[in-house]
Amino acid sequence: MMIKNLYDEARQCIAANAFTASILSCRKILMHVAVSKGAKENLNFIEYVDYLAKNNYLAQGGKDWVDLIRQKGNEANHEIKIMSENDAKDLIKFTEMLLKIIYEFPADVLKRKNT
């Protein structure tokens, strides 16, 4: 539920033209996803990306676009920079794909197996 709330918040930020806040929310989602799949808390964000990749939660080539969530989130968090609408929309798209791959598609397959 917490991840869904953060995703909704990231989308609402885009609707409110709060692009930097949206990107920061996407970065936070990355951490929550990794921890929900067994990563330890309080790791560096690159360690969360690595955890997801090493534990086969990402498709081949997926580490690059998931790492963009981390990189843009780091820019938004650590630099004096206002993020763009395009950056925020890209990160929402990448975050949505991450959530689909890790939660939605496996849940759909499980439903089909049980029917």
> Please, which pLDDT band fits residue 114 given cuts at 50, 70 and 90?
confident
Q: Which long-range contacts (CB under 8 A, 24 or more apart) does 17-22 make?
A: 17/85, 19/82, 19/83, 19/84, 19/85, 19/87, 19/88, 20/76, 20/81, 20/82, 20/83, 20/88, 22/83, 22/88, 22/91, 22/92
> What is the rounded CA–CA span in Å between residue 115 and residue 32?
30
Q: Is 80 exceeded by the pLDDT of residue 1?
A: no
What percentage of the chain exceeds 90 in pLDDT? 87
Q: Tell me the CATH number for domain 2-113.
A: 1.20.120
Mean pLDDT in residue range 57-69: 92
- Spans of all domains in the chain: 2-113
Q: Is 90 exceeded by the pLDDT of residue 85?
A: yes
Question: What is the chain's mean pLDDT, rounded?
Answer: 95
> Please, which pLDDT band fits residue 76 given cuts at 50, 70 and 90?
very high
Give the phi and the psi of residue 17 in degrees, each rounded to 5: 60, 30
> What is the rounded CA–CA span in Å between residue 2 and residue 115?
28
